[in-house]
Amino acid sequence: MRNTKKKVAIVYDWVDKWGGVERVLLHLHSLLPDADFYTSAVDPIGAAWAQKIQMNRSFIQSIPLFFRRKRASILPFYPFAFESMDFGAYDTVISITSAFAKGIITRPNTRHICYLLTPPRYLWSHTDEYLSPTMKILAAPLLSHLKQWDKKAAMRPDKYISISQTVANRAAVIYGVSSDVLFPPFDTVYWDKQKNESKKNRYTIPKTPYFLWVGRMEQYKKVELVCDVARQSPSRTFVFVGTGGLEAQLRRSAPKNCLFMGLISDEQLSLLYTYAQALIMPQNEDFGYVSLEAQYHGCPVIAYQSGGAIETVQAGVTGLFFKQQSTSSLIAVLESFDQISYNLRRSTVVQKNELLRRFGVERFNKQFIIHFQ
């Protein structure tokens, strides 16, 4: 009897860290256990979680890790890496990308669906936050080439699904393509487990009330803005979770009321969410997975009023917005938060069922089947 089961491949740009997108990859691995995974390269230290998945890798894996971690130095190689992958044996290929993976080349009988995280931020929407004026001048020929390639590559998928309306809007403006929206899945079973485990272990958390920041310490995440606010708010405590290129500089220059936790377990993070006054999200996010994590723990979110935060935070119900990425704007909202913090936390807890309805795993799985069948 002929085997009618479809062969599926999942392609991601690079596997070198842990974050919201990586949670999506693990979920797809459980949802499609027979799918084959492809990527440009894997960092076994930065992405220890990837040991759970057999990854097919490109020639970039053979480039020394030092250069792979300084991705800008090998950017010209990535288009070739993905264009050289062979997907002739697959019925469906799902590219999950904020960079190059949508540029794979498939045969006419292979359906290519792109789950778009965002058009490359360093090329289109946030160039100033990635490159200094001098670097933009020096890299102008390369950036021009990559923009041309990116627009051409964007025509290759047969269908687009975006992780948020924010990203769908960007895709329409930059690529001229339409896309449906499918929010990433929020795994409540996983976070319930982390909550329970955190109660069994004795983790140290600040004894004084604190505000929380979670993410990769890179310029576009606006972590420096929170440090500046801390400098002007010596009576408040600010806790930072994560690592990145700015970490060493921030640890040296930040005031004493800033506490840096580095990389911690999700058990520890669960505890920090539970007791934080609020999560501060000062960046323009494509989606903002951490805002869901915070809300699920009953932790309100204070967010910059732009991007994915608008789609995940309910103003005056599960959080507050500030309109400008400035110290004065954020401080003004913190002062407003002081007046309504109790009611805001209570309403955040009450809204848990609404969060599950919009972002839960069951909702994702049902819509995924509709979009990708």
CATH number assigned to the domain comprising residue 238: 3.40.50.2000
Q: Concatenated DSSP letters for 277-336?
A: SEEEE-S--SS-HHHHHHHHTT--EEEESSTTHHHH--BTTTEEEESSSSHHHHHHHHHH
- The answer to whether 257 and 236 have CB atoms below 8 angstroms apart is yes
Residue 373 lies in a domain: no
Rounded CA-CA distance 88/105 in Å is: 9
The residue segments making up the domain with residue 140 are 8-182
- The answer to whether 4 and 31 have CB atoms below 8 angstroms apart is no
Mean pLDDT computed over 191-196: 92
Q: What is the pLDDT of residue 4?
A: 52
Residues 131 and 278 in one domain: no
pTM recorded for the entire structure? 0.90
Final residue belonging to a domain, choices 182, 197, 213 = 182
Using one digit for the tens of pLDDT, what is the confidence trace for 198-225? 888 878 889 899 999 999 998 889 999 9
Question: Residue 99: which of 54, 130, 140, 53 has the closest Cα?
Answer: 130
Residue 177 lies in a domain: yes
The alpha carbon of residue 27 and the mean position of all alpha carbons in its chain are separated, in whole angstroms, by 15
Q: What is the pLDDT of residue 278?
A: 97
Q: In the chain, how many domains are there?
A: 2
Final residue belonging to a domain, choices 116, 148, 182 = 182
Q: What is the pLDDT of residue 2?
A: 40
Residue 371 lies in a domain: no
Q: What is the pLDDT of residue 238?
A: 98
What separation in angstroms does the CA of 214 have from each of 63, 90, 277, 368?
31, 38, 14, 28
Write the DSSP symbol of residue 60: G
> Cα angle at 149 between 59 and 38, to 5 degrees?
35
Using one digit for the tens of pLDDT, what is the confidence trace for 238-264? 999 999 889 999 999 999 999 999 999
Mean pLDDT computed over 156-181: 96
Q: If 0-12 CB within 10 Å is exposed, 13-18 middle and 19+ buried, where does residue 57 land?
A: middle
Question: Between 9 and 140, where is the model more confident?
Answer: 9
Amino acid residing at 255: P
Mean pLDDT computed over 363-369: 91
Residues 47 and 116 in one domain: yes
Residues 218 and 165 in one domain: no
Rounded CA-CA distance 237/180 in Å is: 41
- Is residue 55 helix, strand or coil? strand
Question: Residue 10: which of 69, 97, 78, 71 has the closest Cα?
Answer: 97
Residue 351: both structure tokens together: 């809204």
Torsion sign over Cα 270, 336, 281, 348: positive
Residues 196 and 307 in one domain: yes
Residue 77 lies in a domain: yes
| Whether the predicted pLDDT of 1 surpasses 80 | no
Residues 212 and 80 in one domain: no
Residues 172 and 193 in one domain: no
Residues 16 and 83 in one domain: yes
Q: If 0-12 CB within 10 Å is exposed, 13-18 middle and 19+ buried, where does residue 56 land?
A: middle
